[in-house]
Amino acid sequence: MGDRRVAGVVAAAGGQGGFRRPGTDLPAIESAWADALRVNLFTVVLPVEGLLPQVLDTEGRIVLIGSTAGLDGGGGPYSTAKAAVAGYGRDLAIRAGRRGITVNTLAPGFVADTDFFDAAGLGDSSTMIDAAAARTLVGRVGQPEDITASVRWLLSSEAGWVTGQTIAVDGGTVMLR
């Protein structure tokens, strides 16, 4: 990369790896956990670590995308991998903070109009959306714009004193559990 400098990094990689519980067969359990970590943790860690030397001092911003599943569990290896994203974010904030770089993790809740739930085989039916909306304080599910607005703020100079945080963007769902 040479002399190129990076002002902000958003690591939003991840997917359904390890979402379904594998049963009791130890090789299948090991495979599910390895898949969950590869798909949901390493796809965040490796690009960020690769770009970290190029991130600008004193205004660099790094935003990691986790999940509310990493805050409250219930998703087996997937939840654990997303919790590890938040842990990585805190560790990275400690390492990068002395350079003036902020690092934060967003933990989105149920966001409509994505392929996430279809990919898990859970569907995106109106019944599922209604149930997810009922579990929020604001009475609605998230929209992609809710997440992008939070990312934009964390990348801005206005968020320059916010670092090492995991911020649930979920309409208050985790608070109700």
**Residues assigned a catalytic role:** 78
Rounded to 5 degrees, φ, ψ at 160 are -65, -10
| Rounded-to-integer distance, Cα 135 and Cα 33, Å | 28
Distance CA 78, CA 32 (A): 9
The sheet carrying 8-11 orders its strands as 8-11, 61-65, 102-108, 166-169
Enumerate residues 6+ apart whose C-beta is below 8 A from 44: 11, 13, 14, 64, 65, 85, 88
Angle, CA 32 vertex, CA 21 and CA 121 arms, to 5°:
55
Element (H, E) at 131: helix 126-134
Whether residue 82 contacts residue 76, with contact meaning beta carbons closer than 8 Å, is answered with: no
Two tokens, residue 25 = 């067969």
